[in-house]
């Protein structure tokens, strides 16, 4: 994925396949004689190659992610090769029966037809698949907001109303300052939860990509966490220089991962943040801590097909990370470290 994204985009890849198929038609016309039959055969190949070129033109305008567009390309190439191999097999059978002729036309026609069928059907099928995934994601997102807001809204307002009733029943000369401060505290928590759920929706709805120097982004966020939490022992290790194209909220996702590790564990927690390139050429950020680990139900909510019970701020932070990585065509893995802490692993395709 990283090599393809550095050197060519999906649209140009489809154009390349279409041009190759068109070239097969031209070669057939120039090498197989000047008869009308040859001209018609070449016209058939060139016409079908036009379908591939039209698909290439339409591809970036469809509601398909970059990963989905590359899947369309490879599906088209795969069907093209399969059709060409099928044609070659038919020709070999004919040859065994002394009926072999028109090998080039047969293979060229089959390959071009395969490219047209593969890219066209691939574009529509992958677009449908991604729309289905999008509907499932939106359902998940709606469920998150509904459950979190319902739980927090009920709890925080119940506490606030309890203290308001206490203030209402108090004597005129009674000091209620402490009660007012408690009410403000709970309302601020409710406001913060509302802001964070709105932030999750914003990440999902705004697909704004940016290029990031990964070590620089991580170092900047680590510096911010160190400033806010001087007691945190954070070690960084940058094995490779990695450049990625990710959602604009990606620095926020890194900060959320670090904040979760610091704020939801003991003060003596040790955190190691590393950046490296894996064997597939993708960029990897690993945040490993020695804390108590992420609650099991939070991990199940992230990794499961549907959102499960989620009732606290740490879970919301995980969803900010999840949606940011997902909108960046990356993957998020949560696992247990050797010290029974947490490993947050973010993998993203690199760009040149």
Bigger pLDDT: 141 or 69? 69
Range of the domain at 293: 209-348
Distances, alpha carbon 44 to alpha carbons 26, 52, 85, in Å: 11, 13, 19
| Number of structural domains the chain divides into | 3
pLDDT for res 109: 80
Cα–Cα nearest to 282, from 319, 331, 323: 331
Least trusted range by pLDDT, from 49-63, 75-89, 200-214, 238-252: 200-214
The residues, any chain, with a CB within 8 Å of residue 344's CB and separated by 6 or more, are 257, 261, 286, 287, 288, 321, 332, 333, 334
Which residue among 104, 132, 160 closes a domain?
Answer: 132
Of 178, 205, 232, at which residue does a domain stop? 205
Q: Whole-number mean pLDDT of the chain?
A: 82
- 193 plus 103 within the same structural domain: no
Question: Do residues 82 and 175 share a domain?
Answer: no
Rounded Cα gap, residues 177 and 158, in angstroms? 19
CATH number at residue 344: 3.30.565.10
147: left (phi over 0), alpha (psi -120 to 50) or beta: alpha
273 φ/ψ angles, rounded to the nearest 5 degrees: -115, 125
pTM listed for this prediction: 0.61
Query: Tell me, what DSSP letter sits at residue 350?
Result: B
Looking at 87, 110, 132, the residue that finishes a domain is 132
Give 305's pLDDT tier (boundaries 50, 70, 90): low
Mean pLDDT of 25-48: 85
pLDDT of residue 198: 80
Band (117; pLDDT cuts 50, 70, 90)? confident
Task: For residue 352, name the pLDDT band (cuts at 50, 70, 90).
Answer: low
Q: Are residues 344 and 213 in the same domain?
A: yes
């Amino acid at each position: 994925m990283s090599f393809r994204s550095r050197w060519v985009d999906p649209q140009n890849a489809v154009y390349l396949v279409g041009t190759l198929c068109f070239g097969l038609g031209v070669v057939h016309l120039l090498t197989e004689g000047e008869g009308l039959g040859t001209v018609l055969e070449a016209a058939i190949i060139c016409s079908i190659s036009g379908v591939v070129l039209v698909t290439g033109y339409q591809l970036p305008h469809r509601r398909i992610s970059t990963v989905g567009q590359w899947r369309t390309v490879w599906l088209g190439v795969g069907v093209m090769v399969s059709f060409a191999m099928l044609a070659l097999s038919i020709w070999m059978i004919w040859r065994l029966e002394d009926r072999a002729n028109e090998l080039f036309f047969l293979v060229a026609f089959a390959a071009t037809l395969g490219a047209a069928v593969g890219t066209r059907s691939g574009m529509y099928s992958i677009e449908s698949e991604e729309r289905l995934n999008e509907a499932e994601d939106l359902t998940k997102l709606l469920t998150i907001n509904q459950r979190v807001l319902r739980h927090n809204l009920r709890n925080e307002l119940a506490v606030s109303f309890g203290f308001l009733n206490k203030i209402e029943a108090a004597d005129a000369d009674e000091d209620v300052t402490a009660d007012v401060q408690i009410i403000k505290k709970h309302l601020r928590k409710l406001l913060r939860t509302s802001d964070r759920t709105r932030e999750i929706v914003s990440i999902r709805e705004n697909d704004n990509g940016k290029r990031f120097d990964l070590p620089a982004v991580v170092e900047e966020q680590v510096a911010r966490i160190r400033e806010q939490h001087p007691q945190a022992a954070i070690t960084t290790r940058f094995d490779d220089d990695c450049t990625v194209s990710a959602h604009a909220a990606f620095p926020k996702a890194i900060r959320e991962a670090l904040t979760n590790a610091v704020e939801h564990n003991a003060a003596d927690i040790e955190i190691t943040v590393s950046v490296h390139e894996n064997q597939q050429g993708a960029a990897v950020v690993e945040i490993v801590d020695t804390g108590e680990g992420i609650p099991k139900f939070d991990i199940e909510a992230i990794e499961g097909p549907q959102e499960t019970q989620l009732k606290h701020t740490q879970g919301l932070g995980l969803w900010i990370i999840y949606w940011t990585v997902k909108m960046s065509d990356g993957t998020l893995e949560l696992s247990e470290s050797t010290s029974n802490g947490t490993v947050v692993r973010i993998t993203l395709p690199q760009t040149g």
